[in-house]
Homo-oligomer: A and B are copies of this chain.
């Protein structure tokens, strides 16, 4: 049904190999016939079959991407960077959402292999990235979890520094009883941010009460519920560092419903700087991750690895660390002085 190079060859009474060479700009065909070929290809509406092409050339110009969520603004923006960079380089992307399910993740990876993608980008659902790639020679790059040390590259933000910046800022403002609401317990990002968080206290020789440490899920409801827990258990908490902005939104929701004014009554710092957190109604102080850039670098690094592999150049696993940045907004106030509520 579709036009093939054989059809074009038959139309012109020549061999189809010449058509292939002509259309791919390879030598071995005269300018005259080349012109005739491109013209008839155009006229007949020829569309190369990338499946056949990929079968012999072993290149599919396709990347597989697995992320845990897409609704989450963090991954949303990272994905945007990934997709735009891919498309800029004429690659197509299989996008798969694991919902933090390790099993699904493995299934997607299997499908990627069967569809012969040229490379894979993965934010693993847990902190032991799949090892099924170790045997294949498929270029892979991960987001976060670099500490799990695989033989592939990683991109991530300096989470220790992020946690440090958050705590230091809160302490500088004058907040003292600071609750830490982390992400999944024992996840690398959680641990690193907590580590940095504690470091700020140490540096200022302020003792940290570890009973103020909590963990939550990556959504608003969780943030809300944990906030309630925090304030019911510890009436004297005067600030919260939430390990991501979505959780922070849940905290803000709790404060709003309990007539606590962010910044004045309770300081709040988030992490990520998601879209809309700069709205005046939200105005969340946060640690910014360069989300779009992360996606862009993930894809660019992967494409470079793919190119090198095609050229037979050995690649080394890299770990690319980006800097987080404090964004001061209205949910923290300088010169905070505790007033008993």
> Interface readout for A86-99 with B: 1 if CB under 8 Å, 0 if not?
01001011111100
Q: For residue A76, which residues in chain B have a CB less than 8 angstroms away from its CB?
A: 70-71, 76
The minimal Cβ–Cβ distance linking A96 to chain B, given in whole angstroms, is 6
Number of copies: 2
Q: How far is the CA of A240 from the CA of B281 in the complex (A)?
A: 18
Chain A residues within 8 Å of chain B by Cβ, number = 50
A108 to B280, CA, bound (A): 38
Interface flag for A282 (CB, 8 Å): yes
A257 an interface residue at 8 Å Cβ cutoff? yes
Interface residue ranges of A106-121 to B (CB < 8 Å): 108, 110-111, 113-116
Alpha-carbon separation in the docked complex, A47 to B256 (Å): 54
**In the complex, what residue of chain B is closest to A93 when comparing beta carbons?**
B95
**A256–B281 CA distance with the chains assembled, in angstroms:** 7
Decide if A60 touches B70 in the complex (CB within 8 Å). Answer: no
| B116 pairs with A95, CB closer than 8 A | no
Does chain B have a CB within 8 A of A233? no
Q: Does A50 contact B (CB under 8 A)?
A: yes
Which residues of chain B are within 8 angstroms of A104 by Cβ–Cβ distance?
Answer: 87
Q: A55-B51, A137-B1, A220-B279 are in contact. Are A92 and B87 (CB under 8 A)?
A: no
Given the complex, which residues of B lie within 8 Å of A115, measured CB to CB? 50-51, 62, 92
Give the Cβ gap from A153 to chain B, nearest Cβ, in Å.
Answer: 21
Q: With A51-B60, A281-B256, A281-B282 in contact, is A97–B114 under 8 Å at CB?
A: no
* Interface residues, chain A, with chain B CB atoms under 8 Å away: 1, 45, 47-52, 54-55, 60, 62, 70-71, 76-77, 79-80, 83-84, 87, 90, 92-97, 104, 108, 110-111, 113-116, 135, 137, 220, 249, 252-253, 256-257, 275-276, 279-282
